[in-house]
Each structure stands twice: as C-alpha cells, then as structure tokens.
C-alpha cells in the first residue's frame, strides 16, 4: 500500500510544540484524505504507549494499529473497530470514542477521534486522535464489578449472584422436568474460634471451608457465602433426595477433617438445611427461607446434622413468630405475673428466701409454662426486658409485704446472660433500691456460671458494682456447666445453688451424692452458703440436712405461689418439720420386724417402759418401707420370715441406712446365713428365742448408747463444720470490706494527686497546714512568694512563715500582711466541715493596702 505524503503537517510554533511534547495523553494526527489513513504526526506520549519511535510510526497506516486485534490486516478485516471509527468520523465529521487493547498484556486505551481544525484550504482533511491509558481505571471498574457479585473474603458468589444462578437453575430444571436443591450450611461453634483465636483465624477457617466445599461440587453447581459462617449451595439438575443426601454427607466428612489454622489443628463440624425445587417451593425466596428453617432445626438437634425441610417446620416458625408478637404485647399489657417459690433454711426451718419466677397468663391460651416462652425470649432478645420487669415487680411486692407488717424475706431474681452484659444493670438495681427503700440484702441476683464466663473481665467489673450496692449474688445451676472451684474463689458470691439435675439422684446415685457433698464442702470452705434446687422428697431433704446443706428449694417445701399466697405462708410461719433441721436431737426410735404378731406385741410391752418410740413391721419389705419413711436408730428383726429372711433384710438395711444398729432375735439358727451377715457387719448382735427379758433390754439399751454416741459425734461434727463455715463466711465478708476499702483508698489517692497537681498550676499562692501547724503542702505560686524563706515544706509554719502569724497567733479568718514590701491578703480556710480532712488551707493574694 503506497501512502501519499505530499501534504505533511505544517511545523508547529514553539509554544504549541512544547505543549504537544508535554501532553500526558498520546496524540496522533491522521490524514483522512486517503483510504489508508496515513499517520502524519505523533507526540512522545503516543510513542511510549506503542513502544515505538516516531520515525517508525509516521507514514504508516493508522489502520495497522488495529492488526493485533485480529488476523485480517488493516481495513480488510471487518471487525477492526479502529478502522470503523476512522471511517465514521471521516465521513460524518462527528467525534467518536472507543476502547482498544492490542493484546492481553497491552494497556487499555481510550481513543477519542475528531476532525482536526483546518490549517488552510490547500491542506487535506485530517483527523485528531487523543489516546488515554485507562488501564488502572478499567481494573478498578472490573474489581468493583467483581465485588458486586462476589464475596470479598472467599471469592465465592454473593447473595446477588446466587439469586441469578438459582433462578437460572430453576428455569433450566423446569424445562427439563428436573430438580434443584438449595443447601444452607453453617459451621458449628464458629464463634468460639473467633473468641479464642481471633478474627484472623476465623477468616482463614472460612477460606479453607470454602475451598473444601467447592471441591465437592460439580461445574453446574453454585457455592455462595451470605455472611458470617453461613454458606448457601445450589445443586442443579438433581434427580432425588438420595443424591442430595450423598452430597451433604460428603461435605460433612470433608469439613470434619482437621484444618491447619495459624499453626494449630482445628476441628469443625457443620449443620446443613435442605430445601428442594419443585417439591418444597417454586420460587427462590421461599426455597432459601425453607432451607434456612431446616438449618435452624438441624442446629437445634445439637449440630453436625442434616435436615430436609418439612412443612411442619414452617408451621412451627409461624407459631413462633405469633408467640413472639404476643410476648411483646404481654410485656406492655399486664399479662405477665410473678410467682415465688419459697426456700427453707435447714438450721431454723423457716422461709429464708423466695425465687421470683415469671409466668405468662395469656387471655386465650391460658397459663403458658416458662419452658415454652423463656427460650423464645432468649432467642428474640426479650430476656433483658423480662428481667427488668421482674425486678420492678418483685420490688413492688416486697414493699407491699413490708407494708402489711410481714417479716422481711430475701427475693432472688434471675438475671439472664444478656441482661448481665447490659451496662445499665447496676444502675437499674440501685434505682430500684433507692425508690423502694428496701435493704440491699433483701435482693439477691441469680446468675449462671455460663453468663460469668462469656467475658470474665466485664463480669468482674459488673459483679464489683453490684457487690458495692450490697445486694446478694447467687451462682445458679452449679453442677451443670463449668462447675469450677476457681470460679467460686474468683467471684464475690454469697450463695451457690446446686442444680436439680444432681439433687434428684442424691439418695439413689452414689456419684451424684458424692458430687453434692463435694460442692457443699468446697463452698463452705470458701465461706459461701449452699442451696439445693429440686428437693422433692423427705429423703432428699434428710440427706442434705446430714451433709450440711444450708437451704433447700423444691416441691417438698413449697410450690411456686402468687403474692397473696406468699403473704399467707409468711404470716403462719411455714417451716420444715423439726426432725429435718440440720442440728437436732431426735427421739430414740426402735423398729421391730417379725411375722408373728404376738412376738411383736410381747416385745412392745417389754420395751415400752424404756421410753423408746417403737415402730413395727411384719415382713422384711414392710420393714424397708418403714425405714424409708422414718428415722430409726435400732432394728430388732426375726430371721425366718416369708419373702425375705432376716439376714437379707438387715443386709439391705445396712446398705441403705448404715447408721442404724441391727440386732437379730430368732429361734432358728441357720448358721451360715447368720454368720455371713455378722461377718459383713449387717448384724450387731444375734440373740435367740425365747429371750431373757433383762438381757434383751440390756442389749437394746447398749445399742441405743452406741447410736447416741455416733449421733453425738455427728452432731458435734455438724456444729464444728457450721462454726467453721460461719468463720469462713465472716472472713469472706471481711475480705470484701477490705477490698472495697482498698479500692476507696486508691480512688482517694488518685483524687488527692489530681487536686495536688491542679493546685500546683493555680496562680493563687496556696499553703496547706496539718492540724498541728506543720506545712504539708506548698504550691508553685506560694514558693515564689516565700522564696526568701528557704525550705518551708515539712516545717512548723509559725517558725518558717512568721509573716502569716500576726501577733504570734495562728491565722484565722482574713487579714493583710506585708511580704517584701508588698501587701497580701491572707485567708485561712479550716478543713473538715464537709470531709474527714483536718488542718487548714491558706490562700495568699496580692491586694491594695487598706488605709
């Protein structure tokens, strides 16, 4: 191709040439009079973009600049965008803009092509092309476009792109009569990773999970992240549930393998909820909602579960939403009420406290049990509002009981973990006490160990504020969570409540009995009282009494009741039966077991004169029933009885009631069974029938003496343990007082140092004297006034500051003095009127002399 260069561009004048060379954008002048569009001139910036010299470019065809975009040369290629643009501008005269990129490694360039101004009639038409490198802008726009459809952390599809892919998969499945599955996947326990190892570790774990799950999927499937630790999958073209189930199980196995994260090996589980198209829903929004419902159900089953959506889940969700709305109305419409379950003091037997329990009296559904709406309140964040409502209502009831002249009683109010983390809790309690005028110890706050462990530093601060108010602090449900002795030592607790899950088995379960004994012992060692929840039987109460438990709560002592019923209980002095008090001396009780009624009657006549309380039974099983219902000291049993021989009965009595003294009285001497029972310790003595009256009375009296010695030892042990517990409690209270005093001293020292530093910068001269006239403080202004007096701090003011003592008297009130020929006003301020400070503060200021 030959180019006509007969009309080269006229050289530019000096200023225009400098601008041409300095221009940051590439500039290209093209001849428009020829089909080849020859390059007439280029500036240095365009040469840099092309990586060629001006000599290599001038005279060549501008169309060749587009050759790298395709295989056809120049204007012969129909898809050459540069050629099309040059022809369009040359023909129509309008400007044109386009983006060109010669190759994948070349920069993006924006070409702006327009008709160049005519330099004269003889000059052929020309086109001016301005070329701007927009690579960075294009990359930013590409990144923004990617971020608009992808998750920034994992690079997976985000919610917007997920919706597009889901809709496309559903449309394709509809055309093929196929199916689609939506999977909501969440990591179990992910928050613990963030809390223990930090958010960097959590992010690494999410990236690793995304890579593993991506490896389980086909090309037509989509994996997206919708925030947090929740991933959503679209499985396209699925045929049945078995196929989906297999994919989910594979994902669970893959995620179950250890993850290397910041030098540690982490184990993670996941829960998956599944909804299918078209079986469960025919639109994407509903399908995703159903999968999320199934996920919630899977997590509710304990985690690491797969759960397909079922219609009843939607029904439960609807009911829950209705219940939540109704609960919000109940908080404002007076549908809530408080009931109180009494707690008994096992030393005195009387009611020592009441636990406030929230109940919901719905106008249509009736009384809704707490187990149904408290979990809902926790899930919806309403426990804080419930807690403050309970506090206000309990205080109102306590004020009403006081106005009725009833004895004061402590009320325990449950504090949920969310309410405990609420910074407004201490002030709310302080306001309730101030408005009601109740003594702080009449309010106790029950807090679970799990709540204390969520943020230990914040827990320490909150507990310190509550303790400073003087309210009681109770650790609730101890024995079900961490149950750490270290936590008992660390937190300023007044009472520990043993969970009812342990109390229910203390009579029949050796492990639970041992654990309860240990809790009581270690709490008492720390000076903390112990209460047991869920006490339902006398046997449980007796076990707790014998093992030094301080308080009991449960249906055995009293069911939850309303405010008026509580008033009645307080008025009549409802109490534990005397024989169940912790320290007592019970009547001597004898149990006679014989299947012959005449033998039992004869023994009763013989032994009645000795003052025993005598119980009887006609068989071994009946004897065990009597032992279960009564405290027995001595047992006298026959050997040969129907159903259960005496040796077996006494052996069972020893196992169940080892403190009893057991005697066998029989006319039959089956030597082997009796000998075995004696060797096992089941029988204290073996006596034969017929008996000698005086000898029998002597042996029974001896048995009672042994039992009374053992009882006295137990009673002394209880008294000693009680005294030790009271001493430990007193020491704990003293430690609390000492700690508060030390904190106050620290605060006072800080305040004093602030005041000292403030006075140092005050321009007014200030001197502080103690109550003996010694100089205790001198600020900078005072040192300047008395610089000629030398060192004055720590010396007697009357000697080192004689100017302040007219006529030798201590300064008082206000007077004037002359110092270095200048007149000063001296004002003495006695201290101690509004504080515990002593001495005086003297200010010295310049003044005009009085005539």
Residue 544 belongs to domain with CATH number:
3.20.20.450
Give residue 123's pLDDT: 62
The confidence score (pLDDT) of residue 275 equals 92
Which domain CATH number covers 25?
Answer: 3.30.450.20
Of the listed ranges 7-11, 573-577, 842-846, the one predicted with least confidence:
7-11
pLDDT value at residue 617: 92
pLDDT at 490: 78
Same domain for 695 and 560?
Answer: no
pLDDT confidence of residue 430: 93
**Confidence at residue 691, expressed as pLDDT on a 0 to 100 scale:** 83
Do residues 109 and 221 share a domain? no
User: Is the same domain home to 767 and 815?
Assistant: yes
- Do 575 and 651 belong together in one domain? no
Phi, psi of 485 (to 5 degrees): -60, -35
CA-CA-CA-CA torsion for 374, 378, 381, 387, nearest 10 degrees?
A: 60
- Say whether pLDDT at 678 is over 70: no
Q: Return the minimum-mean-pLDDT range out of 3-12, 707-716, 776-785.
A: 3-12
Q: How far apart are CA 131 and CA 100, in angstroms?
A: 10
SS3 content of the chain, % helix, strand, coil (to 5): 45, 20, 30
pLDDT at 73: 41
Task: Give the whole-number percent of the chain exceeding pLDDT 90.
Answer: 20
Q: What's the CA gap between 798 and 260, in Å, rounded?
A: 77
Most confidently predicted of 194-198, 379-383, 524-528: 524-528
- pTM greater than 0.75 (yes/no): no
For residue 6, being part of any structural domain is answered with no
pLDDT above 80 (res 113) = no
Mean pLDDT computed over 34-41: 85
Helix axes 311-333, 370-380, angle to 10 degrees: 90
Contacts of residue 447, Cβ cutoff 8 Å, sequence gap at least 6: 415, 420, 473, 474, 475, 476
Dihedral in degrees, nearest 10, Cα atoms 274, 276, 282, 286: 0
Looking at per-residue pLDDT, the higher value among 815 and 213 belongs to 213
Q: What is the mean pLDDT of residues 777-805?
A: 80
DSSP 45: H
Cβ-based burial of 53 (10 A; exposed 0-12, middle 13-18, buried ≥19): exposed
pLDDT at 103: 59
Instruction: Give me the CATH number covering residue 298.
Output: 3.30.70.270
Question: Is residue 513 pLDDT above 60, yes or no?
Answer: yes
Q: What is the mean pLDDT of the chain?
A: 81
Per-residue pLDDT band for 564 (boundaries 50, 70, 90) equals very high
443 and 481 inside one domain: yes
Asked whether residue 791 falls in the same domain as residue 824, the answer is: yes
What is residue 316's predicted lDDT score, i.e. its pLDDT? 64
CA–CA separation, 604 vs 696, rounded Å? 12
The verdict on 304 and 390 lying in the same domain is: no
pLDDT of residue 70: 41
- Residue 76's pLDDT is 42
- Do 478 and 604 share a domain, yes or no? no
* Domain assignment present for 315: no
Cα–Cα dist 398/406, whole Å: 10
Task: Answer yes or no: is 339 within a domain.
Answer: yes
Does 314 fall in a domain?
A: no
Residues 623 and 596 in one domain: yes
* Residues in a beta bridge with 96: 113
584-596: average pLDDT: 83
515 or 10: which leads in pLDDT: 515
CA-nearest of 133, 277, 271 to 190 is 271
- Distance of alpha carbon 172 from the chain centroid: 46
Structure tokens, 17:
């040439």
Task: Give the CA distances from residue 335 to residues 20, 26, 367, 386, 415, in Å, rounded to whole numbers and listed in that order.
Answer: 84, 79, 10, 12, 20
Name the token pair of 635: 């047992």
Which range of 174-183, 219-228, 405-414, 477-486 scores highest in mean pLDDT? It is 405-414
Region label for 375, one of left (φ > 0), alpha (ψ between -120 and 50) or beta (otherwise): alpha
Report yes or no: 515 and 502 within 8 Å, Cβ to Cβ: yes
Least confident of 359-373, 493-507, 603-617: 359-373
- pLDDT attached to residue 700: 87
Average pLDDT over residues 312-339: 72
Percent of the chain past pLDDT 70, that is, above it, reads 86
Least confident of 222-226, 443-447, 531-535, 677-681: 677-681
pLDDT bracket for residue 534 (50, 70, 90): very high
Spatial separation of the C-alpha atoms in residues 639 and 599, rounded to whole Å: 13
**Helix, strand or coil, per DSSP, at residue 341:** strand
pLDDT in tens, 721-759: 767 767 777 777 777 777 777 777 777 777 777 777 777
pLDDT of 690:
85
Can you list the pairs that 625-630 forms with residues at least 24 positions away whose Cβ atoms lie under 8 Å? 626/591, 627/591, 627/653, 627/656, 627/657, 627/660, 628/539, 629/538, 630/589, 630/591
- Which residue, of 562, 580, 598, is where some domain finishes? 580
Name the residue with higher pLDDT: 688 or 213: 213
Q: What band does 71 get if pLDDT is binned at 50, 70 and 90?
A: very low
The total domain count for the chain is 5
The C-alpha atoms of residue 29 and residue 37 are separated, in whole angstroms, by: 10
Structure tokens at 66: 């587009």
**325 part of a folded domain:** no
Q: Of 552, 559, 544, 577, whose CA–CA distance to 344 is shortest?
A: 552
Question: Mean pLDDT throughout 783-792?
Answer: 79
DSSP structure class, residue 690: S
**Does some domain include residue 5?**
no
Residue 510 vs residue 426, higher pLDDT: 426
Q: Which residue has the higher pLDDT, 771 or 414?
A: 414
Identify whether residues 506 and 636 lie together within a single domain: no
**Which residues have C-beta within 8 Å of that of residue 164, sequence separation ≥ 6?**
none
**Contact present, 369 and 357 (Cβ < 8 Å):** no
Could you tell me the residue range of the domain that residue 784 belongs to? 761-846
| 420 shares a domain with 567 | yes
Report pLDDT digits (tens) over 597-655: 998 898 888 888 888 889 999 998 999 999 888 888 899 988 888 888 888 888 888 88
Q: Kindly state whether residues 64 and 116 are assigned to the same domain.
A: yes
Instruction: Say which range, 248-252, 501-505, 685-689, has the weakest mean pLDDT.
Output: 685-689
Q: Among 688, 714, 740, where does a domain finish? A: 714
* The two three-digit tokens of residue 8, written as one number: 């080269």
Among 470-479, 794-803, 807-816, name the most confident range. 470-479
Half-sphere exposure of 443 toward its Cβ, with a 13 Å CA cutoff?
Answer: 32
Q: Report helix, strand or coil for 350.
A: strand
CA 700 vs. chain centroid, Å, equals 61
Pick from 777, 767, 758, 788: nearest CA to 845: 767
> pLDDT tier at 482 (50, 70, 90 boundaries)?
low
CA proximity to 691, closest of 623, 607, 624: 607
Final residue in a domain of this structure, among 86, 117, 140: 140
Least reliable range by pLDDT among 129-143, 174-188, 258-272, 275-289: 129-143
Round to whole Å and give the CA distance between 402 and 397: 9
CB of 272 within 8 A of CB of 184?
yes
Q: Report yes or no on 477 lying in a domain.
A: yes
Residue 221 lies in a domain: yes
Q: Are 507 and 537 in contact (CB under 8 A)?
A: yes
Measure the CA–CA gap between 54 and 741, rounded to whole angstroms.
88
Tokens coding 454 = 């969520």
Question: Which position has the higher pLDDT, 565 or 804?
Answer: 565
CA atoms within 13 A on the CB side of 163: 9
């Amino acid at each position: 191709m030959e180019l006509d260069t007969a009309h080269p561009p006229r050289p530019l004048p000096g200023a225009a040439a400098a601008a041409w060379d300095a221009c940051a954008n590439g500039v290209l002048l093209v001849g428009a009079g020829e089909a080849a569009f020859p390059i007439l001139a280029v500036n240095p910036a365009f040469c840099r973009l092309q990586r060629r010299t001006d000599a290599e470019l001038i005279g060549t065809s501008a169309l060749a600049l587009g050759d790298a975009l395709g295989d056809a040369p120049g204007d012969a290629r129909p898809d050459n965008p540069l050629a099309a643009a040059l022809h369009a501008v040359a023909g129509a005269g309008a400007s044109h803009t386009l983006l060109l990129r010669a190759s994948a490694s070349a920069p993006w360039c924006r070409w702006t092509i327009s008709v160049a101004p005519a330099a004269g009639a003889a000059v052929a038409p020309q086109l001016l092309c301005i070329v701007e490198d927009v690579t960075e802008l294009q990359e930013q726009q590409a990144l923004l476009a990617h971020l608009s459809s992808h998750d920034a952390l994992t690079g997976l599809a985000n919610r917007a792109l997920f919706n597009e892919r889901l809709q496309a998969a559903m449309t394709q499945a509809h055309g093929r009569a196929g199916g689609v599955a939506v999977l909501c996947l969440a990591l179990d326990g992910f928050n613990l990773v963030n809390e223990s190892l930090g958010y960097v570790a959590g992010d690494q774990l999410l990236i690793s999970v995304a890579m593993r799950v991506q490896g389980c999927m086909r090309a037509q499937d989509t994996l997206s992240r919708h925030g947090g630790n929740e991933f959503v999958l679209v499985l396209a073209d699925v045929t049945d549930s078995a196929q989906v189930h297999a994919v989910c199980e594979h994902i669970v196995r893959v995620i179950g393998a250890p993850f290397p994260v910041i030098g540690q090996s982490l184990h993670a589980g996941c829960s998956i909820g599944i909804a299918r198209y078209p079986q469960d829903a025919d639109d994407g929004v509903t399908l995703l909602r159903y999968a999320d419902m199934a996920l919630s159900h899977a997590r509710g089953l304990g985690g690491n579960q797969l759960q397909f959506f079922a219609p009843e889940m939607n029904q439960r969700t609807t009911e829950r939403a209705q219940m939540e709305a109704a609960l919000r109305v109940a908080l404002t419409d007076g549908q809530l009420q408080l009931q109180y379950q009494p707690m008994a003091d096992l030393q005195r037997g009387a009611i020592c406290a009441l636990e406030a329990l929230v109940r919901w009296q719905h106008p249509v559904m009736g009384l809704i049990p707490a187990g149904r709406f408290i979990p809902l309140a926790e899930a919806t964040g309403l426990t804080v509002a419930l807690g403050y409502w309970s506090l206000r209502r309990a205080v109102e009831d306590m004020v009403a009981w006081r106005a009725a002249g009833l004895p004061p009683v402590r009320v325990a109010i449950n504090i949920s973990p969310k309410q405990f983390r609420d910074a407004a809790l201490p002030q709310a309690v302080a306001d309730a006490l101030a408005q009601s005028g109740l003594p702080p110890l009449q309010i106790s706050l029950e807090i679970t160990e799990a709540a204390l462990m969520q943020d230990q530093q914040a827990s320490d601060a909150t507990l310190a504020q509550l303790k400073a108010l003087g309210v009681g602090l109770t650790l609730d449900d101890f024995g079900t969570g961490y149950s750490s002795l270290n936590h008992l030592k660390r937190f300023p607790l007044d009472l520990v409540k043993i969970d009812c899950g342990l109390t229910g088995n203390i009579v029949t379960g050796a492990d639970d009995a041992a654990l309860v004994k240990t809790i009581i012992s270690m709490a008492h060692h720390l000076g903390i009282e112990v209460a047991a929840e869920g006490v339902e039987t006398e046997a449980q109460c007796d076990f707790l009494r014998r093992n030094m438990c301080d308080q009991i709560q449960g249906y055995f002592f009293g069911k939850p009741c309303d405010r008026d019923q509580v008033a009645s209980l307080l008025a009549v002095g409802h109490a534990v039966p005397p024989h169940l008090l912790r320290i007592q001396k019970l009547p001597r009780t004898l149990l006679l077991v014989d299947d012959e009624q005449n033998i039992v009657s004869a023994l009763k006549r013989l032994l009645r004169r000795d003052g025993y309380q005598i119980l009887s039974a006609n068989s071994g099983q009946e004897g065990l029933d009597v032992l279960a219902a009564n405290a027995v000291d001595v047992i006298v049993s026959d050997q040969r009885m129907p159903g259960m021989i005496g040796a077996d009965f006494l052996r069972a009595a020893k196992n169940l009631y080892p403190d009893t003294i057991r005697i066998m009285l029989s006319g039959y001497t089956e030597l082997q069974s009796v000998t075995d029972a004696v060797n096992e310790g089941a029988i204290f003595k073996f006596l034969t029938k017929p008996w000698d009256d005086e000898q029998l009375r002597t042996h029974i009296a001896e048995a009672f003496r042994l039992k009374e010695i053992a009882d006295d030892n137990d009673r002394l042990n209880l008294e000693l343990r009680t005294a030790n517990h009271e001493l430990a409690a007193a020491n704990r209270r003293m430690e609390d007082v000492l700690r508060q005093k030390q904190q106050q001293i620290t605060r006072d020292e800080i305040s004093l140092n602030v005041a000292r530093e403030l006075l140092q910068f005050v321009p007014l001269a200030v001197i502080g004297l103690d109550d003996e006239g010694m100089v205790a403080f001198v600020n900078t202004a005072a040192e300047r006034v008395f610089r000629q007096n030398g060192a004055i701090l720590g010396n007697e003011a009357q000697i080192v500051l004689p100017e302040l003592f007219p006529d030798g008297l201590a300064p008082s009130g206000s007077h004037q003095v002359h110092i270095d020929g200048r007149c000063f006003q001296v004002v003495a301020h006695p201290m101690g009127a509004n504080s515990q400070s002593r001495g005086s503060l003297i200010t010295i200021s310049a003044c005009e002399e009085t005539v």
